[in-house]
Structure 1
Amino acid sequence: MSVVIWTDGRLHAPTDRILTGVDHGVTVGDGVFETCAVYGGRAFALTRHLRRLERSAAGLGLPAPDEDVVREAVAAVLGAAPDAGRLRLTFTGGPGPLGSHRDAPDAQRPTLVALAGPATRAATSRAVRVPWVRNERSATAGLKTTSYAENVVALAEAHRRGADEALLANTVGMLCEGTGSNVVVERDGELVTPPLSSGCLAGITRELLLEWGADAGLPVREAAADELPYDVLDDVLAGRAQLALTGSIRNVSPVSALDEQDVVPGPLSRAAAELFQARALDDLDP
């Protein structure tokens, strides 16, 4: 299927020219975004994604998106693409200076783009470690911004090595996240995910897994600040631990290969994947 795009109040084809060359999201990456899975023409966990879009915009210093307009855009693209598997919302600073500074607040005209398109989901994931790190003290740590060049480089390295995700440490050597996923380590009879203080994104799937896991009696929790050093991944290669990734399209995905070595997904990781899929289909806007 082709991608359906909405901006400036109407639908567009993928070949339409819809952004000005001086949009601040284009010139300096001054923007935020959200990606939602789509089931049966409805965006999954849309309300939670809109709350995070608003938080990311505030953290970047952008005005709050108009939720009514965003929901209108969502309805338009999903109405035009009922078989879509993915929804993306992008909100930028709009036309602005060529430098990093912005126009005065009363002169800003933010850009909202919504698009719906295909998505694929694999039962398991293949990950590799890469030499670059997340800066947990960055001004944009924890914000879902359009400044994704670091992720592009890291993911290209993962693909070169036959994987679909790259795993990053932070500046103090703790396990942080993937380029587009949160990480869950299975060991000692529980599932543990790095804390937000590590610099990782507050993933919606991560958040729901913590909530739904607790409801179902699944032993899943957020780690203490120094509990998951990056070399915990050595334990995965040695069979002393297992790994899963979470994300809006992959949901909960047990890892079946790390650093080009096959590994066996753990039973709790598989149970978490099954639990999440069942709960997601039961409630599309939890």
Structure 2
Amino acid sequence: MFSTVAVDGEVRRWEDLRLHDFAQGFFFGAGFFTTFRIDAGTPLFLARHLARLRASLAAFPGAVRAPAPEQVSEATVRDTLHRCLHTDAALGPGFTGVGKLSVSDGHVLLTFRPAAPDAERLQREGRTLDTVEPGAYRRGERTLNHKGLSYFRQYALMQQLPLLGNEAGEVCELPTANLFFHLDGALVTPPLDAPCLPGIVREVLLEAGHVGGLPVVERPVPLARLADVSACVFTNSAVLATGVPRLLGRELPGSLPLAEEARALIEAAARRR
């Protein structure tokens, strides 16, 4: 992570932050965050990320102290990001990487990290998914529809990257990504009450309606139906769309070209914004 950060729009240094300013978030995980891709100094889908943050704050008004509304406005965050990039030569106005907004204790913290070192390889080769955690979630658990600071459950599984399922034997998500399956002539993603995070890229693909000629739909995906999947893609805001060339021991040669079509659609949507 880079040393330059911002708190409530003020450019600061990471080492100068005070723990007691974020005690509610640190001790109780009472807060939310969102991570967004930055390409050549431009944040992708920032308005959508901020809308999701505001929705999470509104859903838990008694548990998380919200910042002043202007601190989570698009104009304020864009201005803050711009000043951070121009302040730190290690970032620079053409920075490409990941930004993270964390909201707790009435404050907004903006931090930066480099792009994942294996991002290009993931686009070329995809990522095998070979494990499942059935019953990891409970259907309808509403906290999992929000990207909370209490993120250890997902963080602990990042390297293994298992498919997370619910008690009904249905697929939910990956620890850090939403899932899409080519199944029954459609590109199917689990519904929010599976539960899963309402990912920004997930939202973009659902609104697009089609990827590679396949209608994009939201419906339950039983773990037992994974044997019938002919392609699989997972999505998040940092790497957009990644193909799954091998799913639970089965080769899925259609996944990489499907992910490429999804990325092209997502990038086109970002340019229109």
TM-score range, shorter chain: 0.7 to 0.9
> Is the counterpart of residue 222 in structure 1 residue 217 in structure 2?
yes
| Structure 2 residue aligned with 1:75 | 82
| Structure 2 residue aligned with 1:5 | 5
> Is the counterpart of residue 27 in structure 1 residue 24 in structure 2?
no
- Give the 4+ runs in structure 1 shifted more than 6 A: none
For structure 1, which segment, 4-13 or 80-89, has the greater mean C-alpha deviation from structure 2 after superposition? 4-13
User: Residue 9 of structure 2 contacts residue 77 of structure 2 at CA under 8 Å; is this kept in 1?
Assistant: no
Aligned partner of 2:267: which letter? A
Between the aligned partners of 1:264 and 1:166, the Cα distance in structure 2 is: 17
| Structure 2 residue aligned with 1:257 | 246
- What are the within-5 Å matches in structure 2 for residues 97-112 of structure 1? 110-112=106-108
Between the aligned partners of 2:82 and 2:267, the Cα distance in structure 1 is: 20
| Structure 1 residue aligned with 2:43 | 43
| Structure 2 residue aligned with 1:231 | 224
For structure 1, which segment, 71-80 or 119-128, has the greater mean C-alpha deviation from structure 2 after superposition? 71-80
> Is the counterpart of residue 182 in structure 1 residue 171 in structure 2?
no
Q: How far apart are residue 22 of structure 1 and its match?
A: 6.0
Structure 1 residue corresponding to 2:254, chosen from 245, 260, 266: 266
Aligned partner of 1:264: which letter? L
Between the aligned partners of 1:88 and 1:219, the Cα distance in structure 2 is: 32
Q: Mind listing any 5+ residue stretches in structure 1 that lack a counterpart?
A: 95-109, 159-164
Q: Deviations over 1:222-249 (max 9, x none)?
A: 2334xx112333x16xxx5321101111
Q: Deviations over 1:114-153 (max 9, x none)?
A: 0122112221123232255123333413111111011122
User: Residue 6 of structure 1 contacts residue 76 of structure 1 at CA under 8 Å; is this kept in 2?
Assistant: no
Between the aligned partners of 1:53 and 1:17, the Cα distance in structure 2 is: 22
Between the aligned partners of 1:34 and 1:119, the Cα distance in structure 2 is: 15
User: Residue 209 of structure 1 contacts residue 272 of structure 1 at CA under 8 Å; is this kept in 2?
Assistant: no
Structure 1 residue corresponding to 2:264, chosen from 248, 258, 277: 277
Between the aligned partners of 1:168 and 1:195, the Cα distance in structure 2 is: 13
Between the aligned partners of 1:126 and 1:18, the Cα distance in structure 2 is: 41
Q: Deviations over 1:43-91 (max 9, x none)?
A: 0001111111111111122436421443333333344423231011000
Q: Which SS does the other structure have where 1:75 is aligned? A: helix
Between the aligned partners of 1:37 and 1:77, the Cα distance in structure 2 is: 15
- What are the within-5 Å matches in structure 2 for residues 35-184 of structure 1? 35-61=35-61, 62=64, 63=66, 65-66=69-70, 67=73, 68-79=75-86, 80=88, 81=91, 82-92=94-104, 94=105, 110-120=106-116, 121=119, 122-123=122-123, 124-127=126-129, 128-131=131-134, 133-156=136-159, 158=160, 165-184=161-180
| Structure 1 residue aligned with 2:237 | 248
Q: How far apart are residue 173 of structure 1 and its match?
A: 1.6
| Structure 2 residue aligned with 1:162 | none
Between the aligned partners of 1:152 and 1:279, the Cα distance in structure 2 is: 26
User: Residue 59 of structure 1 contacts residue 140 of structure 1 at CA under 8 Å; is this kept in 2?
Assistant: no
Between the aligned partners of 1:19 and 1:70, the Cα distance in structure 2 is: 22
In the superposition, relative to structure 1, how do residues 283 and 138 fare at CA in structure 2: closer, same or farther (>3 Å)? closer
Percent identity between the two aligned chains: 27
User: Residue 132 of structure 1 contacts residue 154 of structure 1 at CA under 8 Å; is this kept in 2?
Assistant: no
In the superposition, relative to structure 1, how do residues 21 and 7 fare at CA in structure 2: closer, same or farther (>3 Å)? closer
User: Residue 252 of structure 1 contacts residue 273 of structure 1 at CA under 8 Å; is this kept in 2?
Assistant: yes
| Structure 2 residue aligned with 1:102 | none
In the superposition, relative to structure 1, how do residues 22 and 224 fare at CA in structure 2: closer, same or farther (>3 Å)? closer
Q: Deviations over 1:191-237 (max 9, x none)?
A: 111111211111110111122343x6731322334xx112333x16x
Between the aligned partners of 1:22 and 1:70, the Cα distance in structure 2 is: 19
In the superposition, relative to structure 1, how do residues 90 and 257 fare at CA in structure 2: closer, same or farther (>3 Å)? same
In the superposition, relative to structure 1, how do residues 200 and 22 fare at CA in structure 2: closer, same or farther (>3 Å)? closer
Q: Deviations over 1:7-57 (max 9, x none)?
A: 144223333334327610001000011111111101000111111111111
Q: Mind listing any 5+ residue stretches in structure 2 that lack a counterpart?
A: none
In the superposition, relative to structure 1, how do residues 176 and 136 fare at CA in structure 2: closer, same or farther (>3 Å)? same
Between the aligned partners of 1:285 and 1:166, the Cα distance in structure 2 is: 34
